[in-house]
Structure 1
Amino acid sequence: MNDQTMAAGASREGPAAPKDPIAKRSGFYIMYEAKIEGVTRPWGVHSQEIYLEGRLVDQARYTGGVTDESVLELLKSTEGFRRLVHSIGVSVRPDKAGTPSIAFTMQHYAKTDRFQAGTCLTASCPGDGSETLLLLEDFTWSADDDVPGKLVFEFEEPGETASASVVFYLNDGYEVPEVEVEPPVAYGSAAYNEVIAKSFLNLGNTRRLKAAIEKAKSGEEVTLAYIGGSITQGAGAVPVHNQSYVYKSYEQFKQRFGAADGARVRLIKAGLGGTPSELGLVRYERDVLREGDVEPDVVVIEFAVNDAGDETQGVCYESLVLKALDGAKQPAVILLFSVFVNDWNLQERLAPIGWHYDLPMVSVKEAVVEQFRLSKQQGNVISKKQFFYDIYHPANAGHQVMADCLGLLFEKADQAVLSPEDICLDQPPLLGDEYRDIRLLDRRNGEEPARISAGGFGESDSDLQLAPLDGETFATPQFPYNWMHTDASGDESFRMELGCKRLILVFKDSGSCQFGKALVRVDGQAVLTADPHVNNWTHCNAVILLNEAETREHLIEITMASGDEDKQFTILGFGVVQ
């Protein structure tokens, strides 16, 4: 046997001189056993994206247990991050055996070309759950780096799922407490059921909900519709199409009440991330009623953590509730109050509307927040780290809790006495109902009620906010019938003449430096400078342009703001009350 053969044989037994172990460093998780999924993106990859900008501090606080404010402060910028963090440990455990490696990237956003010029820390993580270590000193950093932007896990095949953990190991001189691993949530236990019971805020008038339940039992067609923000969209649930609270509560309804395995129980899911009831109103007929093709029997409304952006402070929410209650089948309307990781929601503003009309109401906040403050020994059933995927969205466990809260309401309605009379809608609104008759006007239908000259906004934008509808595994572009100004469109204004008394503009937010501001005039008066960078990510932004008591003719003009004439801007549509 020659030396080369001996060396080859030795290598099969293990290294002749193992490396010294790396000294253990203090560190904290920003993801711990979080579910991820390869969602197909418009650019052809299959990935899970976790956004860090504006969220990383809370991720460290709630997932990692970090309480030291000086450490948290360093996470707000790339400069501070590099001072604090020595290395990043990433482990991915695929749900499917034999899954090859998963590509990991931590992207930092830049000061100039925000999404293109920042440093990207990349590695290939083996699909066996072992940890891959990324040393920050091994990467070339850009002087243009601004803030930690996002994490990306890229799969080879669409729909693949895994559990992922990401830990930041700290440089010498920084220490944080070690976080203990928690026991799994005891679903169905007596303690768990006590938590769920606290979500039951109001049974309300039972007539409509019991009617839907009886229809399902008798084998008639029943439609459950859900409208809300990103939580209703399914954010944080993996895979999103069947692990969201929407799908799980729909399945519970089918299994509990549906004849013939619930074959005639239909799901409509109309969640859209980052949007309030102000936009929910504009898209209700399109996304819930499907332009008249759908007449729901039950409508769940979830905007309790999105309506901070409602300019009307609840009038749009009440208008949406009444719009749903006015449905052809007299649907049951359920108000669902979700919660953020900081224990916040708008229940105090919105629940009085439910009391006013005696509607069924479910509060996730009432269920979980009190026990969040307890230790396991004191009676904690589910921790914030278990409930939340990030600071805004539930993880699979949180979505399960939300579904079980709705399931309890369904069960109590089934057992309750039938209310002798229907809900009374012939009464003054609590806050207002001025927007209940709003409808969407876009490039597809705008020429019917309005006279429109697109001017320099004659192009169509296809890079739009995406949302998975119903039980679909793919995402649908939102507001595709739009008007877009490009960098080569010229300076001619968009002009629209129509008779109305209330008008909402829906425009596209974007993080791209190619997008600029637009000036909006109504009847010659400047009313708004629409800035697509306030939110700084691709999503739909609704703003009120006009709110008057009587209908009259108006001229709306939109031009690029001074200095932004060579940039892009997209008018997604309008909400009109005539």
Structure 2
Amino acid sequence: MDNKTIEVKTDDHKGPTAPKDPTRKRSGFFIMFESIIEASTRLDGKFSQEIYLEGRLSDKANFTGGVEDEEILAHLASCNGFRKLVHSIGISVKAHDEREGTEIYFSLENWGKTNKYESGTRIRIPCVADGSETLLILDEYEWSSDDDVPGKFTFEFEQAGALATASIILYLNDGFEVPEITPEPPIEFGSEAYRGMITKSLVSKGNNYKLKAAIEKAKRGEDVTIAYIGGSITQGAGAKPIHNTSYAYQAYERFKQLFGHPEADHIHLIKAGVGGTPSELGLVRYDRDVLRDGTVEPDIVIIEFAVNDAGDETKGNCYESLVLKALNAANAPAVILLFSVFQNDWNLQDRLSPVGWHYELPMVSVKDAVVEQFRLSKAKGNIISKRQFFYDIYHPTNAGHTVMADCLGYLFEEADRSEAEGLDIMIEKLPVIGNDFVEIRLLDRSNCEGIAVIEAGSFIETDTDLHMVELDFDSFGTPQFPFNWMHTAEAGDGSFKLTIHSKRLILVFKDSGSQEFGSAEILVDGQHMKVADPHIINWTHCNAVILYNEQESKEHTVEIKMASGHEDKRFTILGFGYVK
């Protein structure tokens, strides 16, 4: 292992470095431009914001920096290419708390060939957080011969929740040139053109019977709960600070302003977005995360999986099942379908909107609002550019989250203005895609008694290094699926066995970037079903896979054991979703 960790101490650092040659005249492009960053609490006790680069750096260069040169983009795929291309890195950080002497550390980490997270170079330098530029000149440092790919940039703060605005620019070596980007004018929120853009988001007002009932309830000063379930955008990714600038929070605030009583705290929020997960997992955790195990009855449920469900094995069956699960609640909530969008203009609206039309549900499309005007110049009618809307290629900026909230706010206003439907929707009809998973329930270590017979074998430990999610108003993360079963090498090689009477079963296991984790073989009734690989996506989150989907319920035995050659690795079974 050839590890290089380079630490520049504060007293060795004299503030922004002036290069010996006129670096400011060098061609360069932004990886981040005036992006808000936030100090999140990490398991090691530090407070930081990470910007992951592996497989994403060329996308950032193209998206934020406007780089289209294929040779330059190709150089960003490896550490060798990066060093051939980049002369220096300019880092500008301005703390929102303007106390004199506030310092934020910046680090560059390369992933290694020998040991991905340990054998590459790490350079860590202090930055004066007053908006001036600190320059990291690459040739001034030794680099590990084991460097493989650029791994991540990190900003470290002194305290949790601190905010700053940061820019990162890569200055290029001689022989490389990129065009300069012209700064964009500010977004004119509230303008007539902006309002016109927002109105395009309303795919359908649907049957407003339930939504108007919730609005009238709020106007009377009665308790109303708005719940959101979805992926990372619903979690608030890209919003800084995440707990009060996410679209979910902002739309909740819009509803309060429109229909709440200022003197009463009677409008409530449930925010249950989990990054990197499809409706397949949303189904499993709905009772726990939205209904809070029967303690909450939301009046409005907003479902956002239009950019997450590419991984849904059922191609919409799980999505429609989730919609019906929400609609079937005893208090009959209003259900709204929200279609977010990625930077490449993609979502699954065409697959999922038939569910909304089938059940006459209100539908809001952020894609319909923004994509058409993305293609226009400012002179031709552009209102918000992609660089202004997107924090990265997947998630909105604070401005993007505001647009999403305004789209939902427009639906609320339209529902309030419209005459009430005389009759409620009908859900007792054949599904448009499928409803196989409506009755799914979560099974984990906390509630398995009486539901299934479990022999844990060597899966006896509890994993505490879990996907952390900011729920509701929280600025801190809550661990997902804490009641789990983890295999470790020290526990032996015994299989995990679950015997259950059911017709459908989903396994939820932990995906991880750690090389300590290995694959597990899964057998159902003695037959090999699949190998669960925790490194397909390669970061700590929850992965749901269907083990069987049958029409009749019967007893099944599921065996999970470490795959051959992985016996000394770890593997975590987070839980199961079952349909009796």
Pair 1:52–1:259, CA change in 2 (3 A): same
Distance across 1 between alignment mates of 2:400 and 2:158: 28
* Distance change in 2, residues 1:35/1:451 (3 Å): same
After superposition, residues 489-500 of structure 1 pair within 5 angstroms as 489-500=491-502
Decide which of 250, 269, 272 is 1:270's aligned counterpart: 272
Instruction: After TM superposition, give the deviation of residue 141 of structure 1 in Å.
Output: 1.5
Structure 1 unaligned blocks of 5 or more: 1-16
Identify if the C-alpha distance between structure 1 residues 262 and 399 changes in structure 2 by more than 3 Å, giving closer, same or farther: farther
Conservation of the 8 A alpha-carbon contact between 1:255 and 1:261: no
Match status 1:338 vs 2:319: no
Seen in structure 2, the aligned counterparts of structure 1 residues 320 and 234 have a Cα distance that, compared at 3 Å, is: same
- 1:51-66 to 2 correspondences below 5 Å: 51-66=52-67
Which whole-Å deviations, capped at 9, do the CAs of 1:164-198 have from their partners, x for residues lacking one?
A: 00001111111000011111111001111111111
Go from structure 1 to structure 2 and tell me whether the alpha carbon gap of 1:18 and 1:529 turns closer, same or farther (over 3 Å shift). closer
Kindly state the Cα deviation for residue 264 of structure 1 after the two structures are TM-superposed. Answer: 0.5
**In structure 1, the residue corresponding to 2:262 is in which secondary structure?**
helix
1:374 to 361, 373, 376: 376
Residue 282 (structure 1) aligned to one of 281, 284, 309: 284
**Counterpart Cα distance in 2 of 1:213 and 1:122:** 52
1:43 is matched with which residue?
A: 44
Q: Output the CA distance in 1 between the equivalents of 2:270 and 2:178.
A: 45
**Partner residue in 2 for 1:313:** 315
After superposition, residues 490-569 of structure 1 pair within 5 angstroms as 490-569=492-571
Give the SS at the match of 1:30.
Answer: strand
2:298 alignment partner AA: P
Q: Structure 1 20/374 Cα, relative in aligned 2: closer, same or farther at 3 Å?
A: same
What's the offset of the Cα at 1:138?
1.7
Partner of 2:71 in structure 1? 70
- Does structure 1 residue 216 correspond to structure 2 residue 218? yes
* 1:343 alignment partner, SS class: coil
Give 1:20 deviation, angstroms.
Answer: 7.0
Q: Who is 2:90 aligned against?
A: 89
CA contact (8 A) 1:216 1:262 kept: no
Q: Distance in 2 between matches of 1:548 and 1:242?
A: 43
Shift of 1:21: 4.8
The residue number in structure 1 matching 2:10 is none
Which of 478, 481, 506 matches 1:479? 481
Contact 2:244 2:473 in 1 (8 A): yes
Contact 1:219–1:260 (Cα < 8 Å) also in 2? no
Residue identity in the other structure for 1:57: S
Give a deviation string over 1:28-66, Cα, whole Å, max 9, x none: 001000000111112111111122222222111111111
C-alpha displacement of 1:139: 2.0
Asked whether the equivalents of residues 23 and 171 of structure 2 are also in contact (C-alpha less than 8 Å), the reply is: no
Structure 2: distance between partners of 1:341 and 1:568: 35
In structure 1, what residue type is equivalent to 2:73?
A: L
Q: Which amino acid aligns with 1:73?
A: A
Of 242, 258, 261, the match for 1:240? 242
Q: Tell me the distance in 2 between the aligned counterparts of 1:131 and 1:182.
A: 21
- Structure 1 residues 398-436: Cα deviation after superposition (integer angstroms, max 9, x where no partner): 000000000000000011111111111011000000001
Equivalent in 197, 205, 219 of residue 195 of structure 1: 197
Structure 2: distance between partners of 1:433 and 1:22: 61
Paired amino acid for 1:95:
H
Q: 1:532, CA displacement in angstroms?
A: 0.4
Map of 2:457 onto structure 1: 455
One-letter amino acid of the counterpart of residue 94, structure 1: A
- Decide whether the 8 Å contact of 1:88 with 1:133 is kept in 2: yes
Task: Report SS of the residue matched to 2:106.
Answer: strand
TM-score, with length taken from structure 1: 0.96
Q: Of 174, 177, 188, which residue of structure 2 is paired with 1:175?
A: 177
Match for residue 11 of structure 1? none
Following superposition, the deviation at residue 22 of structure 1 comes to 4.0
**Partner residue, 2:12:** none
Instruction: Give 1:329's aligned amino acid.
Output: N
2:81 corresponding residue in structure 1: 80
4+ aligned runs moved over 3 Å, structure 1? 17-23
- Aligned to 2:215, what secondary structure does the other structure show? helix
Residue by residue, what CA displacement relative to the aligned partner does 1:458-477 show, whole Å, maximum 9, x if unpaired?
A: 00000000000001111100
Task: Specify whether residues 404 and 26 from structure 1 end up closer, same or farther in structure 2 by C-alpha distance, changes over 3 A only.
Answer: same
CA shift for structure 1 position 256: 0.7
CA contact (8 A) 1:254 1:262 kept: no
Give, in whole Å, the separation in 2 of the partners of 1:73 and 1:333. 45
3-state secondary structure, aligned to 2:373: helix
Cα deviation digits, residues 243-295 of structure 1 (max 9, x gap): 00000000010111012355100000000000000000000000000000100
Distance 1:487 1:141 in 2: 34
Structure 1 residue 122 displacement after superposition? 2.1
1:409 maps to what in 2?
411
Structure 2 CA distance for partners of 1:331 and 1:96, relative to 1, 3 Å: same
- DSSP 3-state at the match of 1:377: coil
**Percent same amino acid among aligned pairs?**
64
Name the SS of the counterpart of 2:25 in structure 1. Answer: coil
> Cα–Cα, structure 1 residues 350 and 129, in superposed 2: closer, same or farther, change >3 Å?
same
Q: How many residues align?
A: 562
Q: Please tell me whether the aligned partners of residues 227 and 300 of structure 2 are also in contact (alpha carbons under 8 angstroms).
A: yes
Preserved CA contact (<8 Å) 1:507 1:542: yes
More divergent stretch after superposition (42-51 vs 107-116): 107-116
- Structure 2 residue identity aligned to 1:373: R
With over 3 angstroms needed to count, the CA separation of the structure-2 counterparts of 1:20 and 1:539, relative to structure 1, is closer
Given that 1:113 and 1:512 are in contact with CA atoms closer than 8 Å, whether structure 2 keeps it comes out as: no
Q: Aligned-pair RMSD on alpha carbons? A: 1.3
Q: What are the equivalent positions in structure 2 for 1:152-171 lying under 5 Å apart?
A: 152-171=154-173
Give SS of 2:331's match. coil
Q: What amino acid maps onto 1:477 in structure 2? A: P
The residue identity in structure 1 corresponding to 2:42 is: R
Contact kept? 1:107, 1:119, Cα under 8 Å? yes
Deviations 1:308-357 (CA, angstroms, capped at 9, x unpaired): 00000000000000001111221110100000001110001001110111
Go from structure 1 to structure 2 and tell me whether the alpha carbon gap of 1:143 and 1:550 turns closer, same or farther (over 3 Å shift): same
